[in-house]
Amino acid sequence: SKPLEGKVSVVTGAASGIGLATAKRLVKDGSIVFIADLHEDALAKAVSEIGSNAIPIVADVSKVSDIKKLFETVKDSPKGGRVDVLFANAGIAAAAPIGSISEELYDRIFSVNAKGVLFTVQEALPLLGKGSSVILTSSIDNFKGLPGYSLYGATKAAVRSFARTWTADLTKSRGIRVNVVSPGPIVTPMFEAGAGEVKAKIIASQVPIGRNGRPEEIANVVAFLASDASSFIAGAEIQADGGLAQI
Ligand code: NAD
């Protein structure tokens, strides 16, 4: 049987890139997947690619009221009622050297990447139970200094820290595993918008594996962390970066 047969999953930032590839993979592995993102049209397109086991929900994770509605919908859905796998993945990036970070940018990035993840997990708590797997998307930037990414990196360091402390808070008491995937350069709309074609090639040449990653290669990691194959892994970070963090 499939590794996630009969499971209920929630993926945020699921209309594009890593979230979309992961939603596809979790459905392929047998799960029902509630896919959350900002825009109805992008979600409809995602459903048309994934199929009817993907259920779209419009939600902005920077707004706690939206997150509450998201999990009310999951709770009340005949296909939901609980959450076995939660992939808190929605995030935004912006390169900004220290001298050019505005207060507005600071608030916006923290409110999606850090606040969004914290309240996504908080609002999911009543629906999570023993054996549930929570996976958070951090980034290589959480521990490696990349020029211009101090603000983004700080939000992703917060995400890494959440998983550590939530392991203390949730794993022993409730049997919920919380783990982190930290992607390196992955070719998604976010990456292409930030890097451009020339810079993307330069980055690829620096990666020990010799190329940038594909969203499916992060989906593989999330599918592993979602499944019982990772049943003894809690509070861990998996770096999926072609070795870039090591050089
Ligand atoms: P992407 O832009 O292709 O997809 C992100 C999705 O999140 C989009 O569909 C977007 O609409 C959605 N989103 C943004 N803000 C949201 C909000 N407030 N509420 C709900 N949805 C929201 O980007 P991606 O590359 O797939 O990134 C996914 C995650 O991976 C992000 O957290 C990103 O920081 C992280 N990441 C990406 C890379 C990379 O190289 N692509 C590397 C490291 C980490």
Give the ipTM of the model, two decimals please.
Answer: 0.99
For a mutational test of ligand 1's pocket, the pick from 41, 69, 92, i.e. the residue with the most ligand atoms closer than 8 A to its C-beta, is 92
Ligand 1 centroid, distance to 170 Cα (angstroms): 26
Instruction: Spot the catalytic one: 34, 119, 149, 152.
Output: 152
pLDDT in tens, the chain (247 residues): 999 999 999 999 999 999 999 999 999 999 999 999 999 999 999 999 999 999 999 999 999 999 999 999 999 999 999 999 999 999 999 999 999 999 999 999 999 999 999 999 999 999 999 999 999 999 999 999 999 999 999 999 999 999 999 999 999 999 999 999 999 999 999 999 989 899 999 999 999 999 999 999 999 999 999 999 999 999 999 999 999 999 9
Instruction: State pTM to two decimals.
Output: 0.99
152 is catalytic: yes
Categorise residue 96: left if φ over 0, alpha if ψ from -120 to 50, beta otherwise: beta
